[in-house]
Amino acid sequence: MAVKTKTRRTAWGRARRAWDIEIGDADRAGPSRAKGWSPEGVLDATWQALARPGPGSLRRMYEHVFVPWYWGGGAFAAIAAHVGLAAGADLVPAASALVAAAGAGLTAAVAPGVLRSRWGQRRFPSAAAWVRAEVGHTRVVAGVAVTFATLAAAAAPTTLDGWSTTAAAGVLTLLGVSARWWQHHRHALVVRRPGLEEIFTGPLPDPESSGAAVPADLLGRITTRWGAHVAAEAKMLPGAKMLEVQPTPFGALVKVETVGDGQGAEMVRANLGRLGSALKISPAQLEIEDDAPQEGEPDPTVFWIRAISRQIMDVPVPLEDGRSRVVERDGKTLIRMGRYVDGDGEPEWLLYDGKSMWSGYIGGITGSGKSSLSEGLMLGMMQTGCTYTVYIDPKGGQSSPRIAEHANWFIGSSELADWHAVVDGLITLVKERGKYLKAQGKSGFKPSRDFPGVSLIFDEFYEVKADPVLAEKVGWLARKGRSTGVTVLIITQGYGLEDFGHDSVRANTTVANSVALKMRANQASIFSRDFPRSNPARLPDTENQPRNKGLAVSLKGRDCIMRTAYSGDEVTDRLMAEASEVQVQDLDPFSADALDEGSGGMFASRLEDAEAAEAAGAEEIAARIARGKALLGGARPVREKKAGPPVPAPGRSGGGFAVGVTMPPAIPHQVLVDLGLAREEKAAAIETARAEVAAPAGVEGTAAGVLELIRHRRVITTAEVLEAFQDEQGRPQKGYGATAVKAALRELAEAGLITKPGSRKAPWRLP
State pLDDT tens for residues 190-227: 444 443 333 333 333 444 444 434 455 778 888 888 88
Contact 187, 220 (CB under 8 A): yes
Tell me how far apart the alpha carbons of residues 8 and 2 are, in angstroms, rounded to a whole number. Answer: 10
Residues contacting residue 760 through CB under 8 Å, at least 6 positions apart: 580
Tell me how far apart the alpha carbons of residues 77 and 632 are, in angstroms, rounded to a whole number. Answer: 93
Contact 422, 390 (CB under 8 A): yes
pLDDT value of residue 293? 79
pLDDT value of residue 213? 45
Give the CA dihedral 461, 467, 470, 475, nearest 10 degrees.
60
Q: Is residue 492 within a helix (H) or strand (E), and if so which, with residue range?
A: strand 486-492
- Give the amino acid at 15: A
Classify the C-alpha dihedral 12-14-15-16 as positive or negative: positive
Residues contacting residue 214 through CB under 8 Å, at least 6 positions apart: 190, 311
Residue 145 reports pLDDT greater than 70: yes
State which of 118-122, 256-260, 491-495, 602-606 shows the largest mean pLDDT: 491-495
The larger pLDDT score, comparing residue 701 to residue 355, is at 355
State pLDDT tens for residues 453-467: 999 999 999 888 888
What angle separates helix 218-229 from helix 160-185, to the nearest 10 degrees?
Answer: 100
Question: Which residue, among 353, 404, 413, 355, has the nearest Cα to 375 in the 3D structure?
Answer: 404
State pLDDT tens for residues 22-64: 444 444 444 444 445 555 667 777 777 666 666 566 666 667 7
pLDDT classification of 335: cutoffs 50, 70, 90: very high
Question: Which residue, among 370, 409, 402, 457, has the nearest Cα to 573 in the 3D structure?
Answer: 402
Considering the chain, what is the average pLDDT of its residues? 78
The CA radius of gyration of the chain, in Å to the nearest whole number, is 39
State which of 448-457, 494-503, 555-564, 593-602 shows the largest mean pLDDT: 448-457
State which of 253-267, 328-342, 654-668, 739-753 shows the largest mean pLDDT: 328-342
Tell me how far apart the alpha carbons of residues 596 and 428 are, in angstroms, rounded to a whole number. Answer: 9
Contact 514, 555 (CB under 8 A): yes
Q: Is residue 348 within a helix (H) or strand (E), and if so which, with residue range?
A: strand 348-352
Contact 487, 352 (CB under 8 A): no
pLDDT value of residue 97? 82
Tell me how far apart the alpha carbons of residues 233 and 230 are, in angstroms, rounded to a whole number. Answer: 9
Q: Is residue 6 within a helix (H) or strand (E), and if so which, with residue range?
A: helix 2-23
pLDDT value of residue 432? 92
b/e map of 330-363 (b: 16 or more CB within 10 Å)? eeebbbbbbbbbbbeebbbbbbbbeebbbbbbbb
Contact 489, 455 (CB under 8 A): yes
pLDDT value of residue 357? 94
**Which of 4-13, 84-93, 225-234, 476-485 bottoms out in mean pLDDT, i.e. has the lowest?**
4-13
Tell me how far apart the alpha carbons of residues 708 and 712 are, in angstroms, rounded to a whole number. Answer: 6
- Give the amino acid at 628: G
Tell me how far apart the alpha carbons of residues 739 and 730 are, in angstroms, rounded to a whole number. Answer: 16
Classify the C-alpha dihedral 639-640-645-647 as positive or negative: positive
pLDDT classification of 697: cutoffs 50, 70, 90: low
pLDDT classification of 687: cutoffs 50, 70, 90: low
* SS3 assignment, position 324: coil
State which of 394-398, 632-636, 646-650, 687-691 shows the largest mean pLDDT: 394-398
pLDDT value of residue 379? 94
pLDDT classification of 18: cutoffs 50, 70, 90: very low
pLDDT classification of 683: cutoffs 50, 70, 90: low
* Phi, psi (rounded to 5 degrees) for 36: -135, 175
pLDDT value of residue 36? 52
Which residues of 355-465 form beta strands (DSSP E)? 360-363, 387-392, 409-411, 453-458
pLDDT value of residue 29? 40
Indicate the DSSP class of residue 186: T
Helix (H) and strand (E) counts for the chain?
A: 29, 20
**Which of 81-95, 219-233, 499-513 bottoms out in mean pLDDT, i.e. has the lowest?**
81-95
pLDDT value of residue 28? 40
Query: What's the first-to-final CA gap in the chain, in angstroms?
Result: 99
- Give the amino acid at 596: D
Tell me how far apart the alpha carbons of residues 40 and 18 are, in angstroms, rounded to a whole number. Answer: 17
Residue 735 reports pLDDT greater than 90: no
pLDDT value of residue 657? 36
pLDDT classification of 557: cutoffs 50, 70, 90: confident
Tell me how far apart the alpha carbons of residues 391 and 375 are, in angstroms, rounded to a whole number. Answer: 12
How far is C-alpha 404 from the geometric centre of its chain's CA atoms? 23
b/e map of 443-469 (b: 16 or more CB within 10 Å)? eebbbeeebbbbbbbbbbbbbbbeeee
The larger pLDDT score, comparing residue 275 to residue 651, is at 275
Average pLDDT over residues 485-506: 89
**Which of 355-369, 669-683, 708-722 bottoms out in mean pLDDT, i.e. has the lowest?**
669-683
Tell me how far apart the alpha carbons of residues 88 and 580 are, in angstroms, rounded to a whole number. Answer: 96
In 440-568, which ranges are continuous DSSP H helix? Answer: 468-480, 497-500, 503-509, 521-530
pLDDT value of residue 326? 93
The larger pLDDT score, comparing residue 392 to residue 193, is at 392
The larger pLDDT score, comparing residue 754 to residue 730, is at 754
